[in-house]
Amino acid sequence: METGARVVTLDILRGVAVMGILAMNIIGFSMPEPAYSNPAAYGGSTGLDLAAWTFNFIFVDGRMRGLFSFLFGASLLLVIDRAEAKGEDPGAVHFRRMAWLLLFGLLHFWLIWWGDILAHYAMIGLVAFAFRHQPAGKLALYGIGFIAIETALMALTGARFIEAARDAASSETGSQAILRWEAMRSQLGPLPPAELDADLALHRGPYLPLVIDRLHNSTSLVNSLTFVGPETLGYMLMGMAGLKSGFLTGAWEAARYRRWATIGFAVATPSFGILAVLIIRSGFDPALVAALSLGATTPLRPIMIVALAALIILISGHGRAWSGLIAAVGRAAFTNYLATSMVMTTFFYGYGFGLYGRMGRAEVYLPVLAMWLLILVWSKLWLDHFRYGPLEWLWRSLARGAFQPMRRA
């Protein structure tokens, strides 16, 4: 998100990622949390609703967040390299940026939406700094290593769900095993009626109780470090490798991008398709959802992320009008990410239009399309006159301790 000599491919990829993230976050904005992983939990699991879940499961879920993490790592390294080139202290520059990003993330979490990722990025970004001098090959290997750790963690989580379901099935009514499974099942399955009613009432109600609830659940920010922290760090290191190797800057020959995209999609797409079929055939059994959507997808995601990046770079000729629009979205990704949260929570929550839990899974993509159009139009118009998006300018000014020039010369 830092500017200087723009790397256009990074902007285009970042624009695709921030728009794609909304395609999954919309479920978190519009309905109870278990619906994110399990359409049978809420929002509909037949017809167009099932089609929407299936498409997102195969092509979107985790891939856009992963691509955004790749680009965060690349941008982080760009800022460090530019600070060193100017004779500045790269550590001071980096840690100031991460400190301010952490504050932005906390405010986003507490005041706007529980699904914030900025605070998580800031904390993982502090660790990623230690790898800045590693060559591209080693960065890629470290990234694969952290994703292997994440795969093991998710596999253990899936196994824990399957074991709990099995124990409950063989236990007597009212036993501890059944109570344990009911508590776990509600994380990835339909909420018990009382919990569902409470969730709907909270999100359809006034603003202050939502803030209080998020303050009470602040520990989830720390929990995310252990739950998805290794994966996020792995993605950031892969992004740093992608920058150093020229992959993310568009420096490779077209045939090489074509080869990586072809192989990646050939491996990942049918694999995700098989997992989707297994989950659907199970009737979206929460234990199987945990085992397959958490554990089995983790090693496949980076394969498709790389394939997606290669494909986007391959087709994003710099002279095309749509590339310029998406690049503008990417240049203002910080602003667009937070603006999306403000618009969508206002649209769905009780202090706004109160549509939380009232739309089906397929229906919620109508406001997604409207938001995409909005950010495509405003980003280009704004950046035709200004150097940065509004929040990019604020973050840059705060991190540097001085107001940065805003208007274009």
Cα distance between residue 145 and residue 134, in whole Å: 15
pLDDT given at position 408: 87
pLDDT given at position 108: 98
| 115 Cβ neighbours under 8 A, 6+ residues apart | 25, 28, 29, 341
Each domain of the chain, given as residue ranges in start order, spans 8-400
Cα distance between residue 13 and residue 309, in whole Å: 7
pLDDT digits (tens, 9 = 90+) for 118-176: 999 999 999 999 999 999 999 999 999 999 999 999 999 999 999 999 999 887 767 89
Mean pLDDT for the stretch of residues 165-191 = 88
Q: Which residue has the higher pLDDT, 408 or 115?
A: 115
Nearest to 13 by CA among 51, 68, 75, 58: 68
Q: Is the pLDDT of residue 44 over 80?
A: yes
| 41 Cβ neighbours under 8 A, 6+ residues apart | 32, 34, 35, 188, 189, 190, 191, 284
Cα distance between residue 178 and residue 63, in whole Å: 35
Q: Is the pLDDT of residue 3 over 50?
A: no
Mean pLDDT for the stretch of residues 62-83 = 96
Mean pLDDT for the stretch of residues 203-219 = 97
Q: Is the pLDDT of residue 4 over 60?
A: no
Q: Is the pLDDT of residue 317 over 80?
A: no
262 — pLDDT class (breaks 50, 70, 90): very high
Assessment of whether the complete model's pTM goes beyond 0.85: yes
Average per-residue pLDDT for the chain? 95
pLDDT given at position 5: 58
Worst-scoring range by mean pLDDT, 192-196, 273-277, 313-317, 381-385?
313-317
The one-character DSSP state at 386 is B
Q: Is the pLDDT of residue 14 over 60?
A: yes
pLDDT given at position 387: 95
pLDDT digits (tens, 9 = 90+) for 327-364: 999 999 999 999 999 999 999 999 999 999 999 999 99
pLDDT given at position 318: 53
pLDDT digits (tens, 9 = 90+) for 212-260: 999 999 999 999 999 999 999 999 999 999 999 999 999 999 999 999 9
Tell me if 330 sits within 8 A of 11, measured CB to CB: yes
pLDDT digits (tens, 9 = 90+) for 65-75: 999 999 999 99
Q: Which residue has the higher pLDDT, 319 or 119?
A: 119
Tokens of 105: 């993330």
Query: Percent of the chain beyond pLDDT 70?
Result: 97
pLDDT given at position 2: 38
